[in-house]
Amino acid sequence: MSMSEGYVRVIAFGPIADAIGSRTSKVEWRENLSIEEIILELEMGHWLGQGLAVALNGERCPLDVHCQRGDEVALLPPVSGG
């Protein structure tokens, strides 16, 4: 079992990456871990409700989707402009 199997990899873009201080992070995986919980664990909860988009393994998805070990979650900041 490799180390990455116990984690979910998080890739952040734009101002979210700046706020986290890194473009990529790892969050320890646990049973029934949702994307929303990952966002809260990274202390990025203030982005919720601001148009934050998320993708799981490259596919856009809702925040309540549960992750598996080794998944990759992307945090996409709201698109500004008209």
pLDDT in tens, 52-63: 999 999 999 999
Separation of alpha carbons 50 and 25, rounded Å = 21
Residue with tokens 């101002």: 15
Domain boundaries, the chain: 3-76
Whole-model pTM: value is 0.88
Tokens of 51: 């148009």
CATH of the domain spanning 3-76, picked from 3.10.20.30, 3.40.640.10, 3.20.20.70, 3.30.43.10? 3.10.20.30
From first to last of the 82 residues of the chain, give the pLDDT tens digit: 455 469 999 999 999 999 999 999 999 999 999 999 999 999 999 999 899 999 999 999 999 999 999 999 999 998 765 5
Q: Is 75 helix (H, G, I), strand (E, B) or coil?
A: strand
- 4 and 67 in contact (C-beta within 8 Å)? no
Average pLDDT over the chain reads 92
